Structure 1
Amino acid sequence: MRTWGPLTAVCLGTFMLLLDVTIAVVALPDMARGLDASLSDLQWVMDGYALALAALLLGAGAAADVLGRRRTHVAGVVLFAVASLLCGVATGPVMLIAARALQGVGAAAMFATTLPLLGSVYRGRQRSVALGVWGAVSGAAAAVGPVLGGVLTDGPGWRWIFYVNLPVSVAAVWLTLRVVPESRGARGRRLDRPGAVLFAAFAAAVTYGAVRAGSHGWAEGGTLTAFGCAVLLLAGFVAVELRVADPLLDVRLFARPAFTAVMLAALAFNGAAFGVMAYTSIWLQTLLGMSPVRGGLVFVWLSLASFLVAAVGGRLLHGVPARFTIGGGLLLIAAGQYCMAFLDASSTASALVPGLLLVGAGTGLVTPGISGAALASVPPERAGMAGGAVNTFRQLGYALAIAVFGTVLASRMEDTLPHDASHALAGGAASALRDAFGEHVLRTAFADGLNATAVTAGTVAAVAGVAVLALAEGGGRPPVQRVFRPRVHRGLSRSSPRP
C-alpha cells in the first residue's frame, strides 16, 4: 500500500476525468432523443466539460500550490462526483450542459494536482515508474471511453456513463485521504485571480462564438460580438500576465519559437485527432444504423494503432528529436483525416479504417513526447508552468474543434438540405427527416459534411505539423529525460511539471 497506494489514488481520478472527455461521444444520439436536444445542445454537452477543464486548469494548479494539493484534489473529486450525479438525473439539455461544466471544474482541480502529488511521494526510479503508469492510464482512458460509453448506453442507458463515476469517486477520495500526504508549492506565491478570470472568460467567449456561428452565421451580430469580446479578454489577459509577480502563464515564453511551436501543436493535436469523432459517431448510429457498442468499437482501430506505435516507437525512436516525432505525428494525423474525406451515400464504417489507423499512429507518436517537449523548451524554473500550459492548450483545442467542426458539418450539409434540416440531421434527428427527404439524400448530405470536417481537421494538423518541424528545437535525447534527469533525486521542486 505504501508503494502503490498514492499512485492508485491519483490514477483513479485521472482515469475518470479523461474518460469523461470521450465517453459521451457514442451516447450523443441517445441523449438527443431522450432530452430533445439540438445540434448546439450536443456541442455544449461535449464542450461544457472540455471548456471548463481547459479554462480552469492553470488557475486550479496555482490555487493548489497555495491551498494544498491533496485538499484541492479531494475537493475536485467530490465536485466531480456531485456533477456526475446531476448529469445522470438531468431532465433537459440545459441541466445536462450545466452539470457537465461543473464536472469540468472538478476535473480541473483533479488534473492540475496529479503530477505534483506523484512527485511529492515518489523519488528516483519509483518516480519514473509512477509517471510511466500514470501515462499509460491516461492513454487507456481516452481509448476505453467510446467502447465503455457504447456498452453502458446500449445496456442500462446513457445516464449510466455518469453514474459509473460515483463508486470510483468514493474509492478515490477514501484512498487519497488515507495514503496521499499533503503538499504545497513554494511559500509566498500569490494566486493570479485576474489572470484566471480573464483566461476563463476568453476561452468561453471564443468557444461560444464558434458554436453560435453554426446556427446564426459567422457574420451575425451576436457571433461577431462574442469574437470581439474574446479578443478584448485575451488582450486583457496578456496585459495582466506581463505585470503580475506570479503569472499563470508567462506570455514572454511565446518569444521562444520552440515553446510557441509546442503550444500550437498542443492546441491542434486533440482537436484534429479527436474533434470529428462525435459527429462520426452520430453518422454511424443514425445513418448506418449501428448500435452504440458497434459504433464505439469502430474507434478501436485508432486506439490500437496509438497503443502499438507508442509502445514500439518508444524503443525504436529513442534519441530522435521531439520535433520529428511530434511534427511527424501531426502530419500522420493530417494524412489520416484526409483519408476519411472521401465518404459518399454508399460508404460504410470500413471506409474509416485506413484513416483511423493513420490518426492512431500519429497520436501514438505525439502523445508520449509533447509534454516533455514543452518542459524542455523553457528554463527549469518555468517547467511547471509549461506542463500546465500544454495540457490547457490540448483541452482548449478539443473544445474549439467540437464547436468549429460542428459548424463546418452543418454548413456543408446546407448545400443539400435546408438550414433547419441540416442542423437537425447533424444533431442526430435522421429518423424524423427520412420521410421528407429520403435516405439517399440524408446519407449524401451527412457524408459531404463529414468530408468537410475531415479536411478541416487534416489541414489544422498539417499546418501545426509543419510549424513544429520548422520552429521547434531538436535535441539528441528525448525531452522527458532532459527534463527529469537533473531533478530525479531531489523531490518535486517548484519547477517540477504540473498539468
Structure 2
Amino acid sequence: MILQNHIIPVNENGGLPLSKRYWAILATALGVGISVIDVTIANVALPTIAHDLGTSPSVTIWIVNAYQMAITISLLSFSSLGDIYGYRKIYLSGVLLFSITSGICACADSFWTLTTARILQGFGAAAITGVNTALLRIIYPKRFLGRGMGINALVIAVSTAAGPTIASIILSLGSWHWLFAINIPVGIATLIIGLIYLPDNPVKVTGRHFDKFSCLMNAVTFGLLIFLLEGITHKENTTLIIVGVFALLIIGYFFVRRQLRQQFPLLPVDLMRIPIFSMSIGTSICSFTGQMLAMLSLPFFLQETLKRSDVTTGLLLTPWPIATMIIAPLAGRLVERIHAGILGSIGMTIFAIGLFLLAVLPSNPTNMDIIWRLFICGSGFGLFQTPNNSTIISSAPSNRSGGASGMLGTARLLGQTLGATQVAMIFYLVPINSSQTCLYSATGFAIVAAIVSCLRISQPRPL
C-alpha cells in the first residue's frame, strides 16, 4: 500500500545514525500513541454516542469491543507480513488505514457505520503495534535497544493515561466526532516522517509466503477465546459456552499443530522453544493480568467504598502512569548492564508490594495514602516492562523480529483480557470487598511473574 519512497538503509548491528534515529523514533511514537489512545478515548463518550445514535448502552459498548477484538485477531498476521514484506511497509500501511478509517469514524452518522469503521481502524492499529517493536530493533544499535524499549513503554504509559483526559477536553469543546478527527493530522505527520526516516528491513526472508489459512485459523481461535471469556463474564447461555469451548479446543489444536509444521509459523511456537523468550512471554502475561485486575477494580473501590468523586478518582490514579514514565527510560539504560531477569524480578516484587499495600489500605485513607502506594505500583511495573520487552525482541533471530513483536503484543492483550475477565468474575462471586479481592489476586500474579523472571537469570543474556 505504501510506495517505496526514500528508504533509508540501516546497518543491522549499528542501527540508524543518531540524527535520523530521533526522527524515526518520533514516527513510531506518534503511530503507537494514537493507536493506544484510541483504546480508551471513546469510553468517556459512550453515553453521548448511545444517545446520538439511538442505541442502548449494552450495544454501544461494541464500539470499544470491536476495536479491541480487531487488534487481537489480526496482530500476529500483520507481524508475519512484516517479516515477509518489511516492517516499514506494514507500519506505514497501518498508519494510512488508521488515518482513513478515523476520518470515516468522525463522519459516521449511524451505529453500524461507526462500528464497521472501528473494526477497520483496529486492523490499522494491529499493523502499527504488530511491528512497532520490530522497527525499534533496526532503528537502535543492539547495545542501546533497551533505551528504545524504554521510550516505547513511556509512550504507551502516557497514551494510556491521557486517553480519558483528552476525551474530556475534546467533549467539553465539541462533539464526539472530534475524538476520531484528531487522529487525522497526527496520522498525516506520522506518514510524512515515516516515509522519510523509517528504515527498511536489513534482513530479508526469501522463499516465504503468507499463510492465509493460518491467518483465518488464528482469527477464529483468538476470536473464540475472547467471545468465551466475555460470555462467561456476562453469564451467556451455558450450552453456547460449552459448544464454544469444544470449538476452541478443536480449532486451537489444529491451529497449533499446523504451526508446528511450518518453518516460519504465524503463531511463533518455535520461538517459545527459546527458554528466555518463553519465560519472558509468561511474565508479561502475568504482569498485565495483575495490572488490569488493579486498574479496573480501583475506580470502583475509590468511588463506591471511599466515596471519591469521578474527577478525584482520575487524579488519584495518575501517579501510576507517571511513575512508569519516570522509571521505564531508566530501566532501558539499566538493562544494558544488568540482566533483565534481575531487573524484572525486582520490578515485579516492588509491584507486588505496592498492590498488597493497596489491598490493606486503612478504612479511611487520606489521598496521600493512596498516591504513594500507586506510585510504588507504577515504579515496579516500569522497572519490569522495559527490560522484559527488550529481552523478548532481542532473543529472537533478526528475521523473526516481527513474530517476536507480535507475541509481545499478544501477551499484553491476553493478560489484559484475562485480568478484565477475572475482575468481572470476582465482582460476581465476591460481592463484598470485591476490589480488595482483585488486588490480592493481582498481588499473586505479580509474585508469580517475579519468580519466573528470577528463573531467567540462569539464561544467557541475548546478544
| Range of TM-score over shorter length | 0.7 to 0.9
2:206 and 2:51 mapped to 1: Cα distance?
Answer: 52
Residue 188 of structure 2 is matched in structure 1 by: 170
Give a deviation string over 1:281-311, Cα, whole Å, max 9, x none: 46667884734x5443222110122233334
Q: How does 1:20-31 map to 2 (within 5 A)?
A: 20-24=38-42
Q: 1:174 to 1:39 in 2, by over 3 A?
A: same
Please state if 1:215 is matched with 2:215.
no
Change beyond 3 A, Cα 1:200–1:225: same
Is 1:202 the counterpart of 2:221? The answer is yes
Partner amino acid, structure 2, of 1:373: T
SS in 1 for 2:234: helix
Residue 35 (structure 2) pairs with residue 17 (structure 1): yes
Distance 1:122 1:316 in 2: 16
Q: Which residue of 67, 79, 99 corresponds with 1:49? A: 67
Identify which range, 365-374 or 316-325, moves more after superposition: 316-325
Distance 2:48 2:368 in 1: 23
Which has the higher mean CA deviation after the structures are superposed, 161-170 or 346-355?
346-355
Cross-structure match for 2:359 = 341
Q: Mind listing any 5+ residue stretches in structure 2 that lack a counterpart?
A: 1-18
Q: Which residue of 1 aligns with 2:437?
A: 452
Q: Secondary structure at the match of 1:185?
A: coil
**1:188 pairs with one of 196, 199, 207:** 207
Q: CA deviation at 1:67?
A: 3.9
Identity of aligned residues (%): 25
CA contact (8 A) 1:340 1:355 kept: yes
Contact 1:45 1:97 in 2 (8 A): yes
Output the CA distance in 1 between the equivalents of 2:74 and 2:242.
25
What pairs up with 1:425-440 in 2 under 5 angstroms? none
Residues 105 and 227 (structure 1 numbering): CA distance in 2 closer, same or farther, change over 3 Å? same
Measure, in 2, the Cα distance between the counterparts of 1:317 and 1:140. 22
Aligned partner of 2:379: which letter?
Answer: A
Counterpart pick for 1:104 among 122, 127, 144: 122
Q: How does 1:244-259 map to 2 (within 5 A)?
A: 244-259=262-277
Structure 1 residues 209-358: aligned runs within 5 Å = 209-216=228-235, 220-278=238-296, 280-281=298-299, 288=307, 290-291=309-310, 294-313=312-331, 319-341=337-359, 352-358=370-376
Tell me, yes or no, if the aligned pair for 2:83 and 2:401 is still in contact at 8 Å.
Answer: no
Task: State the SS of the aligned residue for 1:216.
Answer: coil
SS of 1:249's equivalent? coil
Query: Equivalents in 1 of 2:413, 2:393: separation in Å?
Result: 18
Pick from 461, 465, 481 the counterpart of residue 450 of structure 2. 465
- Going from structure 1 to structure 2, the CA distance change for 1:329 and 1:169 (only over 3 Å counts) comes to same
Deviations 1:439-463 (A, max 9, x none): xxxxxx6xx3333333333333333
Q: CA deviation at 1:94?
A: 6.5
Q: How big is the shift at 1:360?
A: 0.4
1:161-218 CA deviation, whole Å, 9 max, x = no partner? Answer: 333212211222233334446558322222122322222222111111111112226x
Distance in 1 (CA, whole Å) between partners of 2:55 and 2:25 is 41
Q: Could you tell me how far apart the structure 2 residues matched to 1:67 and 1:464 are?
A: 35
Counterpart secondary structure, 1:233: helix
Relative to structure 1, the CA distance from residue 229 to residue 92 in structure 2 (aligned partners, 3 Å threshold; closer, same or farther) is farther
Residue aligned with 2:227, SS:
helix
The alpha-carbon deviation at position 93 of structure 1 amounts to 6.7
- Superposition pairs of residues 67-216 of structure 1, within 5 angstroms: 67-88=85-106, 98-117=116-135, 133-134=151-152, 136-156=154-174, 159-180=177-198, 183=201, 185-216=204-235
Give the 3 Å change call, closer, same or farther, for CA 379–245 of structure 1 in structure 2. closer
- 1:282–1:32: structure 2 CA closer, same or farther, 3 Å change rule? farther
**Preserved contact between residue 281 and residue 295 of structure 1 (Cα < 8 Å):** yes
Equivalent residue for 1:409, pick from 409, 427, 439: 427
Contact (CA 8 Å) 1:332, 1:358: kept in 2 or not?
yes
- What letter corresponds to residue 258 of structure 2 in structure 1? V
Closer/same/farther in 2, CA of residues 229 and 333 from structure 1, 3 Å limit: farther
Structure 1, 63-72 or 374-383: larger mean CA deviation: 374-383
- What SS is found at the alignment partner of 2:451? helix
SS at match of 2:379: helix
* 2:381 alignment partner AA: T
* Cα distance between partner residues in 2 of 1:286 and 1:460: 25
Distance 1:258 1:123 in 2: 21
Say which SS state the counterpart of residue 359 (structure 2) adopts: coil
Answering whether residue 354 of structure 2 is matched by residue 369 of structure 1, we say no
In 2, Cα distance between equivalents of 1:55 and 1:406: 22
Q: In 2, are the aligned partners of 1:147 and 1:297 still within 8 Å (CA)?
A: no
C-alpha RMSD of matched pairs (Å):
3.9
Q: Give the Cα–Cα distance (whole angstroms) in 2 for the partners of residues 117 and 56 of structure 1.
A: 18
1:111-163 Cα offsets, whole Å, 9 max, x none, are: 23334555556668998876665554344323433433443345546554333
Shift of 1:259: 2.9
Q: Which residue identity does 2:36 align to in structure 1? A: L
Q: 2:82 aligns with which of 53, 64, 67?
A: 64
Structural mapping, 1:376-387, within 5 Å: 377-378=395-396, 382=400, 384-387=402-405
Distance 1:195 1:301 in 2: 42
Structure 1 unaligned residues grouped into runs of 5+:
414-444, 484-499
Q: Are the aligned partners of 1:259 and 1:377 in contact in 2 as well (CA < 8 Å)? A: yes
Is the CA contact (8 Å cut-off) linking 1:259 and 1:374 kept in structure 2? yes
Question: Matches of 2:59 and 2:296 in 1, distance apart?
Answer: 13
TM-score w.r.t. the length of structure 1 is 0.74
User: d(CA) in 2 for partners of 1:78 and 1:286?
Assistant: 42
Q: Is the 8 A contact 1:26 1:281 kept in 2?
A: no
**Partners of 2:150 and 2:329 within 8 A in 1:** no
What is the match of residue 16 of structure 2? Answer: none
